[in-house]
Amino acid sequence: MYGASEATVRDALDNDDPLPGTYGFAGELPDGSLVRDVLGRELCYDDDGGWSRDPGVLSDPTLLDAGHVRSDGEARRAWRLPDPPVDAERPVERVRGALDAALAVDDDDLAVAFSGGLDSALVATELDAPLYAVGYGDCADIDAARESAAAMGRTDDLRVHDVTLDEIEEAVPEVARAIGRTNAMDVQIALPLYLVAQRAARDGFDRLALGQGADELFGGVRQGREGARRP
């Protein structure tokens, strides 16, 4: 048994407890039954010759579904996830409270990194601080920043910096050293933040407000929009 003791799994079966406080489990019980946790966090494959978490070691592997038990060649569902009542207002209130707390900052000597997207626009609505946007060539972010600033009535607060190729070439090694990574994707993500912070610092600002993190927390703007439509 992987991930939990046999006694814990047996108690979960006897008490119909789908979440017995483990990370996840899969394996064989003393009676020969195969079992897998309700979230499927551990893998469990079997064939006529035995079972394994690695299908590559079996001749004809079959995956045991999450939350199921297989005995005597038959699989049955042992657990289902709990279905508590949904309070749609509470999560919204908590997110609003978290945003209000995060944005309750002194905006003296503060600038906003502004791309014109949803996250940075939300920050900009709450802070009375200049908005900085950077881009190279025909960068779509610059157009988006101008359009968003105009829609918010903050065109006069927007400061756009057209980055030169020389600035990019000079910044890339600095960014790579700062983040400790050299792969193109990580450097590409950090580079605009470095350049906008550098530009704001030249104007005397030593703090920069960002709209970073919403995608990681909520799975992207599209997921948030679709989630808001669900009853």
Per-residue pLDDT at 139 = 84
Per-residue pLDDT at 230 = 46
pTM of the model: 0.58
Per-residue pLDDT at 3 = 92
Burial class, 158, CB count within 10 angstroms (exposed 0-12 / middle 13-18 / buried 19+): buried
Radius of gyration of the chain (CA): 26
pLDDT in tens, 32-44: 999 999 999 999 9
Asked if residues 200 and 182 have their Cβ atoms less than 8 Å apart, the reply is no
Q: Which residues of the chain have pLDDT under 70?
A: 214-231
Residue 39 exposure: Cα atoms within 13 Å on the Cβ side: 12
Asked if residues 24 and 39 have their Cβ atoms less than 8 Å apart, the reply is yes
Domain ranges of the chain: 6-77, 89-229
CATH number of 89-229: 3.40.50.620
Per-residue pLDDT at 102 = 84
Per-residue pLDDT at 220 = 53
Per-residue pLDDT at 226 = 52
Per-residue pLDDT at 14 = 95
